[in-house]
Amino acid sequence: MKILVCISKAPDTTAKIAFTDGDTKFDEGGVQFIVNPYDEWYALVRGLELKEANGGTVTVLNVGGADSDPIIRKALAIGADDAVRIDAETIDALYVAKQIANYAKEQGYDMILAGKETIDYNGSQVAGMIAELMDAPYVSLASKLDMNGNTATIEREIEGGVEVIEVNTPFVLSAAKGMSEARIPNMRGIMAARSKPLTVVPASEASTSTAIKGFTLPPAKSGCKFVDTAEELVELLHNEAKAI
């Protein structure tokens, strides 16, 4: 089974969010970058579990510059066999999806896994775009993935429930909570990661479709109004906030 896991570089969940260049760029100063948690905890770890059960390989793929290499090594330390970095700027989701699809088309992967969204742009776009560009089925926000030969049984979140889907390889899937439990790399994994292959491939020609004009921070809350009793709270929620 040949598995591709797409990983994105994201600021740590506790990073301070600030902007530079007239509020048009994320301020990376002092920010620790991590593997996007959905990509790592759910897509990558489930990919590794499937490989351990059925045999095969897990390749991680990142679109980005050399500053992505530390998070790629982390994914290798967790257990991926090898890595590919497409040396392209992450201009927009469709541009990134085209880079991945152009590369993956020639590789014959049985499945392409990614997290349900990144924690920076929260787009939930790239995996679905890859599927369309490769004319493959796409199952979004999957919470369970089991393989039986070439057939996958997948559970997908829907409003107020879960849908059970069957699909044959090759397919594309975005992974949500429930797929697997996070793994912490051990020393052996970290040592082995240093010598695992990381292939850098050049960007392919692709058009862009969106451009960020600027960022703003949410207005500060005007402050918490402290009340003493439950009765007072209910009264304020009813008459002042009009929320109940």
Partner 1 sequence: MSVLIYTDSSNGALTKNAFEAANYGGQLAKAAGTDAIAVVVGSASGLEDLGNYGISKVMHVSDASLDNFDPQKIAHIVAAAANETGADTIVFAHDYTGKSVAPRLSAKLDAGLVTGAIALPNGNVVKKAVFSGKAFAEIEITTAIKIISVLPNSLDKVETGGSAEVVAFSVEIPTTGITVKEIKKESTELSLTEADVVVSAGRGLKGPENWGMIEELAKELGAATACSRPVADIGWRPHHEHVGQTGIAIRPNLYIATGISGAIQHLAGVNGSKVIVVINTDSEAPFFKAADYGIVGDAFEIIPKMIEAIKKLKA
Stretch that binds partner 1, among 46-54, 86-94, 186-194, 196-204 (CB under 8 A): 86-94
Q: Is 106 in the site for partner 1 (CB under 8 A)?
A: no
Is residue 127 a contact point for partner 1 (CB under 8 A)?
yes
Shorter beta-carbon distance to partner 1: residue 55 or 223: 223
Do strands 9-11 and 2-6 pair parallel, antiparallel, or not at all (unpaired)?
Answer: unpaired
**Footprint on residues 197-226 left by partner 1 (CB under 8 A):** 207-218, 221, 224-226
- Is position 122 an interface residue for partner 1 (rule: CB under 8 A)? yes
Measured from the CB atom, the residue of 34 and 83 that comes closer to partner 1 is 34
Return the C-alpha torsion angle 225, 226, 229, 235, nearest 10.
0
CA 4 from chain centre, in angstroms, equals 13
User: Within positions 26 to 65, which residues make up the interface with partner 1, using CB under 8 A?
Assistant: 37-38, 41
Contact with partner 1 (CB under 8 A) among 28, 89, 132, 146: 132
Q: Quick one: angle between helices 126-133 and 93-104, nearest 10?
A: 40
Task: Characterize 104-123 residue by residue with b for buried, 16 or more Cβ atoms within 10 angstroms of its Cβ, and e for exposed.
Answer: beeeebbbbbbbbbbbbbee
Q: Which residue has the tokens 């579990």?
A: 49
Cβ nearer to partner 1, comparing 168 with 186:
168
